[in-house]
Amino acid sequence: MLTDDANLVQIDANLVQIVETALASAVERSGPHLVCRPGCTQCCNGVFPISQQDSARLREGLELLERSDGQRAARIRTRVAESLTRLDALFPGDLATGMLGEGYEDSPLFADESEDAIGEEEPCPVLDPSTGTCDLYLYRPIVCRTFGPPMRTPDGDLATCELCYITASTEEIAACELDPSLPAKEAASTDAFNAARGVHGETLIAYALRDA
């Protein structure tokens, strides 16, 4: 019988495997239309919510990095502190817990309009600005793993990174769609993780790593 910790590890490992398998399929079908590469950091700027499951995975990654490369881990902690200095006054949630509140999407930090999108250019604290790569890549959130290939929005539209599929036809984009069942599978995994851990809600990467 799995212990609680082992059960949580298995829940997360299963989700990551499902996502990685779906991503590999989408990448193969996309061919040259998917131009994601190390050093392309457009999707690494701007705040976005992550689950408690994502948060735990990131903290595990930082803890392991601390043991193998203390200097790199220290640089992450410095960037986290700098990010929090910018975000705290605007954070639409509970600063004590780092949990986003209801309706956070309507706050200035998450505004869609470019002139009001205060958090639009906020760099991810896990991004190494000197290399343009993620310092916790193997432990990155699910949204970071799935961004790029065509994926259904809640409205049913196919959304892609604006740098990819520029010359692809509508039919070609549709043929590269990421598994549409992924959001439901992620939600089920998140619910199972939260129930096992007794947690809830979403946060930002800087707050997930604040006390790590």
DSSP string, the chain: ---HHHHHHHHHHHHHHHHHHHHHHHHHHHGGG----TT--GGGBS---EEHHHHHHHHHHHHHHHHH-HHHHHHHHHHHHHHHHHHGGG--EETTTTEEPTTGGGSGGG-SSTTT-TTTTPBPTTEETTTTEETTGGG--HHHHH-SS-EE-TTS-EE--TTSSTT--HHHHHHT---TTHHHHHHHHHHHHHHHHT---EE-HHHHSTT-
Token digits for 9? 């590890």
Looking at the structure of the chain, the number of domains it has is: 1
- Mean pLDDT calculated for residue range 21-28: 97
Contact 129, 123 (CB under 8 A): yes
The pLDDT score that the predictor gives to residue 118 is 61
- Mean pLDDT calculated for residue range 161-175: 95
The 8 Å CB, 24+ separation contacts for 25-28 are 25/179, 26/149, 26/150, 26/176, 26/177, 26/178, 26/179, 27/149
User: Per-residue confidence at 111, pLDDT binned at 50, 70, 90?
Assistant: confident
User: Per-residue confidence at 2, pLDDT binned at 50, 70, 90?
Assistant: very low
- Count of helix runs (H) and strand runs (E) in the chain: 7, 8
In whole numbers, what is the pLDDT of the chain averaged over residues? 93
- Name the β-bridge partners of 93: 100
Residue 46 backbone zone (phi > 0: left; psi -120 to 50: alpha; other: beta): left
Q: What is the sign, positive or negative, of the torsion defined by CA atoms of 169, 173, 174, 176?
A: positive
pLDDT digits (tens, 9 = 90+) for 57-106: 999 999 999 999 999 999 999 999 999 999 999 999 999 999 999 999 99
**For a pLDDT cut of 70, what percent of the chain falls above it?**
94
DSSP 122: P
**pLDDT of residue 113 exceeding 70:** no
The pLDDT score that the predictor gives to residue 83 is 96
- Domain of 129 in residue numbering reads as 4-208
The pLDDT score that the predictor gives to residue 6 is 83
- Mean pLDDT calculated for residue range 25-54: 95
**For a pLDDT cut of 90, what percent of the chain falls above it?**
85
The pLDDT score that the predictor gives to residue 212 is 84
- Count CB atoms within 10 A of the CB of residue 70: 10
**pLDDT of residue 115 exceeding 50:** no
**pLDDT of residue 1 exceeding 50:** no
**pLDDT of residue 210 exceeding 80:** yes
